[in-house]
Amino acid sequence: MNVKVKICGLNDEAAVQAAIKAGADFAGFVFYPGSPRHIALKRAAELNALLPPRIKSASVLVDPDDALLAEVRSILKPDYVQLHGNETPRRLREIKKTFPNIKIIKAISVHGGDDVAQAGMFYDCADMLMFDAASFPAERSDALESCRPREGGDPVLPGGNGLAFDWVLLARRELPLPWFLSGGLTPENVADAIRISGAGMIDVSSGVERERGVKDASLIEAFIKAAKT
């Protein structure tokens, strides 16, 4: 299987160069002030310019309005916009109407099998899906609550929390859109995650960090090697 890997939350040149050298297929830049991986648009554009054509860029946004989407498109010109909030199918259709050339990756927060099934609502309005571990129990899924501190002081984010879900939930599912597996992946478990879920694309952020928000070149290399071997 030719597994593709997205390294998300890139925010410095060393991490970008490590992703390039290790053979990443996608690079993600996070625009969400509550995240330790948040980056200014102009700085992201500078880092994005380092990417070779083979690596596609994704701008990660949480419930963006049209003004932010326009700014991202103007300054960064990403290959994909990754929507990681509570965006509805109706909102995705509105975005597609306003920005006809935009390509959307819609993140799906997974508690259980019902969440995977509900991805069907986005089949006609997203270009790709991403299945990520839900940060909250079902009754607290509001992304606007995502920066409230957990016990110990660290914020819980819409993604990048190092949480995993049961990969069997995706096994043997035939979906009409390309999809990423995300959440709690590390160099040590990514091969098992691919084998169990059948994922052809993998997304990682916290699993290749030496500390919260700081990527580690050796972990990026190890992760991509394990995913692609």
Confidence of residue 173 (pLDDT cuts 50, 70, 90): confident
* Structural domain of 47: 4-228
Asked whether the CA dihedral 190, 196, 200, 206 is positive or negative, the reply is negative
For 72-116, what is each residue's pLDDT tens digit? 999 999 999 999 999 999 999 999 999 999 999 999 999 888 899
CATH number at residue 215: 3.20.20.70
Q: How far apart are CA 181 and CA 11, in angstroms?
A: 22
Q: For residue 157, what pLDDT is reported? A: 52
Mean pLDDT of 206-213: 95
Domain count of the fold of the chain = 1
Long-range contacts of the stretch 67-76 (C-beta < 8 A, 24+): 68/31, 69/95, 69/98, 69/99, 69/102, 70/99, 71/41, 72/31, 72/41, 73/99, 73/102, 75/41, 75/42, 75/44, 75/45, 76/29, 76/41, 76/44, 76/45, 76/48
- Taking only the tens place, the pLDDT of each residue in 146-171 is 333 334 444 445 545 567 899 999 99
The answer to whether 35 touches 16, Cβ cutoff 8 Å, is no
Average pLDDT value for the chain = 89
Q: Any residues with CB less than 8 A from the CB of 188 and at least 6 apart, and which? A: 226
What gap in Å lies between CA 50 and CA 20, rounded to an integer?
9
Q: What does the pLDDT read at residue 161?
A: 54
Q: C-alpha distances in angstroms, 58 versus 8, 50, 172, 189, 212? A: 8, 14, 27, 24, 20
19 vs 172, more confident: 19
pTM of the model: 0.88
Q: How far is it, in rounded angstroms, from Cα 218 to Cα 147?
A: 29
> Can you give the pLDDT at residue 142?
38
pLDDT at 1: 65
Compute the average pLDDT of residues 104-131: 94
